[in-house]
Amino acid sequence: MPAPDRPQRTTHFGFREVPESAKDDLVAGVFHSVANKYDLMNDLMSLGVHRLWKQFATEASGVRGGFRVLDVAGGTGDLAAKFAVRAGRRGQVVVADINDSMLGVGRERLADRGIAGNVSFVRANAENLPFPEDYFDRVTIAFGLRNVTHIERALASMLRVLKPGGALLVLEFSRPVFPGLNKLYDAYSFNVLPWLGRVVARDADSYRYLAESIRKHPDQETLKTMMQQAGFERVEYHNLSGGIVALHKGYKF
Ligand code: SAM
């Protein structure tokens, strides 16, 4: 008699439940579709505020000359460009992303800005990073963690490649902390974002996914606990824009 089929494990893709094995491809579809308009959309959607969030993360990273930095889910290279300047010629910055289209846009953007030499681009899944153990001084992931299928595996993988004494910084959408902000934020997320996506990137669905994926992502305290359970120490977070975004930082000792 044939063995009964094992029920497939599922996860969320926005508000949809999908087989775990399908999520990477669905997320890839989103970022292939939006890669060319990704930077413009970030500026429009956040009215430029994403630049301040990234500047805050850069300063909190403490990256300095000679550091080895890995920016996971680094996409079009916003953080990598800042780290490349700070790490200098003796330093090394690696952008790792699962998506060729995003990496391609990033590579061109940084080359156009004359940022090369100490930056490389690697296609890799955050859950299984192809780098040596204890190698990087800092690992960052900005607006990427909510897209990975198994957050615990990504945290373990990022911990593995960090040097003892090194730190992980997670910049991600989180839970607004001001009562009253939620309604406004929901109205904006579920109406304005898909509309902007349709008009500018010709893709409303990807921006609906963005709004939904933010709602499914662990809140500040839950992510802090997940980082601690993964083995990070001295984990702290800082709310930005009233908790719309949070920056978590934790160390490997
Ligand atoms: N970090 C960039 C920034 O802040 O502008 C890009 C963020 S973009 C919203 C999310 C990125 O995560 C995309 O480039 C996507 O390809 C990447 N990504 C999604 N799942 C991933 C995974 N499992 N491993 C590595 N990168 C992933």
Q: How far is the CA of 147 from the centre of ligand 1 (A)?
A: 7
What string of pLDDT tens digits covers the 253 residues of the chain?
566 677 789 999 999 999 999 999 999 888 989 899 999 999 999 999 999 999 999 999 999 999 999 999 999 999 999 999 999 999 999 999 999 999 999 999 999 999 988 999 999 999 999 999 999 999 999 999 999 999 999 999 999 999 999 999 999 999 999 878 888 899 999 999 999 999 998 999 999 999 999 999 999 999 999 999 999 999 999 999 999 999 999 999 9
CA-to-CA distance for 202 and 34, rounded, in angstroms?
A: 9
233: CATH: 3.40.50.150
* Sequence-separated (6 or more) residues with CB below 8 Å from residue 20: 8, 9, 10, 11, 149, 150
CA-wise closest residue to 76 among 48, 110, 52, 51? 110
Given 3-state DSSP classes, what are the helix, strand and coil percentages for the chain, each rounded to the nearest 5? Answer: 50, 25, 30
* Residue 209 located in a structural domain: no
Give the pLDDT of residue 132. 98
* Residue 200 located in a structural domain: no
Give the pLDDT of residue 230. 98
The CB of 27 under 6 Å from ligand 1? The reply is yes
Give the pLDDT of residue 7. 72
Give the residue, by CA position, lying nearest to ligand 1 atom 10: 144
Phi–psi pair at 78, nearest 5 degrees: -55, -50
The token pair that represents 235 in the structure block = 């984990």
* Residue 24 located in a structural domain: no
* Residue 211 located in a structural domain: no
Domain count, the chain: 1
Give tens-digit pLDDT for 100-154. Answer: 999 999 999 999 999 988 999 999 999 999 999 999 999 999 999 999 999 999 9
Read off the pTM: 0.95
Give the residue, by CA position, lying nearest to ligand 1 atom 4: 142
* Residue 199 located in a structural domain: no
* Residue 39 located in a structural domain: no
Domain that holds residue 96: 48-177+217-251
Q: Which atom of ligand 1 is nearest to the CA of 77?
A: 2
What are the residues facing 36 on neighbouring strands?
A: none
Q: How far is the CA of 73 from the centre of ligand 1 (A)?
A: 4
CA-to-CA distance for 221 and 60, rounded, in angstroms?
A: 19
* Residue 114 located in a structural domain: yes
Give the pLDDT of residue 4. 66
102, 147, 155, 247, best to mutate for ligand 1 pocket (most atoms within 8 Å of CB): 147
Give the pLDDT of residue 2. 61
Give the residue, by CA position, lying nearest to ligand 1 atom 19: 147
* Sequence-separated (6 or more) residues with CB below 8 Å from residue 56: 238, 240, 247
The CB of 75 under 6 Å from ligand 1? The reply is yes
Q: Are 73 and 98 in contact (CB under 8 A)?
A: yes
* Residue 20 located in a structural domain: no
